[in-house]
Amino acid sequence: MEKEKKIPDAFAKVEKMSVEELLRKIYGIGPGRAISLGHFHYYRILSGNSLYDIGGDSRIVDLPAGISVLDENGEVWIADLGFSFTENTFGVEEISTTILRPRKKTGLIPKEYGRVFSAENAEEAVRKRLPHAYKMMKDNGWFAWDVLLSAPYMEQLASAGYRFAEDILKNYGPERWRIRKTESDMVNRLCHDGTSPQTIFTVPKCLFSKLKNERDLTTWDTVRKMQKDGISYEDAGAAYERFADTRDRSKMLPLVRKIMKAEYDGKRLFHSWKKLSAYFDRIDMYEAIGLSDGIILLSDYLDMCRKIGVRPKIDSDSLKREHDVTARIFLQRAKEAEKVNMEKASVKLRKYDYAEKAFFIRGIRDYDDLLNEAEQQRNCVASYAGSIASGRKFVYTMRETKHPEKALITVELGKDLQIRQAYLSCNRPITSLAQKTFLQRWLREIRRPGFKPSEIDADAEIAS
């Protein structure tokens, strides 16, 4: 058994760096730049390990999820980064770094893992380890050295004429764009180490040969998912070929996959692309609905049928009629369910109700209360009904104690107990110092351990 290689010393060096030094190494930035502290949800200027509160700033970088380094053999390692925060009475005071789970990495590395080695180091490692790939890169004027170190199969794919591999080697590199995690994940699911397309791709030859000129990674990923879903290689390939020359294939193919996966009573509604294609030909003949519009309409129709538990009518000659009738039933049921869910969610909002002599603030009580707030304030808060019902948004109304029936300020509170937005009617900003300081006291109180909500009777407001 091969002995596990020693963890590179570079990780220990990173742990000794100040956060300022680390971000300068990764992003090329120094003190005075703002950073995002993730779950703390505010920004601070960085100087060494010390942080100073500045509020919002448009020049922001996120703390990296991890780092990538090279060992003495030119192999790539990655490690997650842990950050520890020391707090004082004003918030975060200092930040320190910990290296977590160092491991060798094969496959593309997303930009969220900051690179702490230089472009020169990466180029030299490729020259020594992959001389044939080095020559190809030099001949083409490409500089994605770090891509080749972690995913050397990219050279085989680019040499074989696969356009997405050419694009990655051409457009990404130390001095250019870094690949995003969504893209690296798609490539890493599609490919693994190998010496030829047959051993590199995780999809069969009948598929990867059809997609040779395909540049869009989302399309590659969708076709891979289709065959993983049990859709035959022939059907997945035929569906791709139908949209290969259209601009909206990256949008249409995921919908086709969704339709072909759709079931009722444990059986798939369209067991083959041939059956689905014949259905679209029929609605085109009877309703003049083109293929792209038909896919969008059918996907929406099947979605609604699934949610309200009715059997889709796929033998009908009018998709639009079936869609519109189902939409009417769906909206009626959804509105009823939303009202019930809003009342349940509103109970949780009451735990931050707060009252003083001049003002009080309380959570929205139900759907009618939300509509009343929207009507009085002339804002779009009524559109938040679904988000409130699902617990994604917390909406409060601030009012004067002497006029409890009149909406004054609409407030959205985040789960981190920070105010997301707060506006007077017609989305006017708050200018009153008394109103601003009340909201600040409210935030301070609800964050205090042992806070008990005020008893506020919304029904009494309406009665008055």
**Per-residue pLDDT in tens (0 to 9) along the chain, 464 residues:** 344 568 888 898 888 887 777 877 877 655 555 555 544 434 444 454 444 444 444 445 567 888 999 988 889 999 998 877 665 544 455 677 889 999 998 899 988 888 888 888 999 999 999 999 999 999 999 989 989 999 999 999 999 999 999 999 998 865 556 788 899 999 999 999 999 999 999 999 999 999 999 999 999 999 999 999 999 999 999 999 999 888 888 999 999 999 999 999 999 999 999 999 999 999 999 999 999 999 999 999 999 999 889 999 999 889 999 999 999 998 888 888 888 888 899 999 999 999 999 999 999 999 899 999 999 999 989 889 888 998 889 999 999 999 999 999 999 998 888 899 999 999 999 999 999 999 999 999 999 888 999 998 766 554 44
* SS3 per-residue string spanning the chain: CCCCCCCCHHHHHHHHCCHHHHHHHHHCCCCCCEEECHHHCCEEEEECCEEEECCCCCCEEECCCEEEEECCCCCEEEEEEEEEEEEECCEEEEEEEEEEEEEECCCCCCCCEEECCCHHHHHHHHHHHCHHHHHHHHHHCCCCHHHHHHCCHHHHHHHCCCHHHHHHHHHECCCCECCCHHHHHHHHHHECCCCCHHHHECCCHHHHCCCCCCCCHHHHHHHHHHHHCCCCHHHHHHHHHHHCCCCCHHHHHHHHHHHHHCEECCEECCCCHHHHHHHHHHHHHHHCCCHHHHHHHHHHHHHHHHHHCCCCCCCCCCHHHHHHHHHHHHHHHHHHHHHHHHHHHHHHHHHHCEECCCEEEEECCCHHHHHHHHHHHCCCHHHHHHHHHCCCCEEEEEEECCCCCCCCEEEEECCCCCEEEEECHHHCCCCCHHHHHHHHHHHHHHHCCCCCCCCCCHHHHHHC
Output the pLDDT for position 325.
93
Domains in the chain (CATH in brackets) are: 9-105 (no CATH), 117-202 (no CATH), 343-463 (3.40.630)
- Residue tagged 């009738």 (tokens): 325
Burial class (CB in 10 A: 0-12, 13-18, 19+), 400: middle
- Residue tagged 């742990």 (tokens): 15
Residue pair 260/235 in contact (Cβ under 8 Å)? The answer is yes
Output the pLDDT for position 15.
85
Output the pLDDT for position 245.
86
What is the per-residue pLDDT across 247-288, written as a single tens digit (0 to 9) for each? 888 999 999 999 999 999 999 999 999 999 999 999 999 999
Residue pair 326/304 in contact (Cβ under 8 Å)? The answer is yes
Distance separating alpha carbons of residues 275 and 268, to the nearest angstrom = 11
Output the pLDDT for position 386.
86
Q: Which two tokens stand for residue 327?
A: 């939409």
Please count the residues of the chain. 464
Output the pLDDT for position 39.
41
Output the pLDDT for position 194.
92
Output the pLDDT for position 35.
54
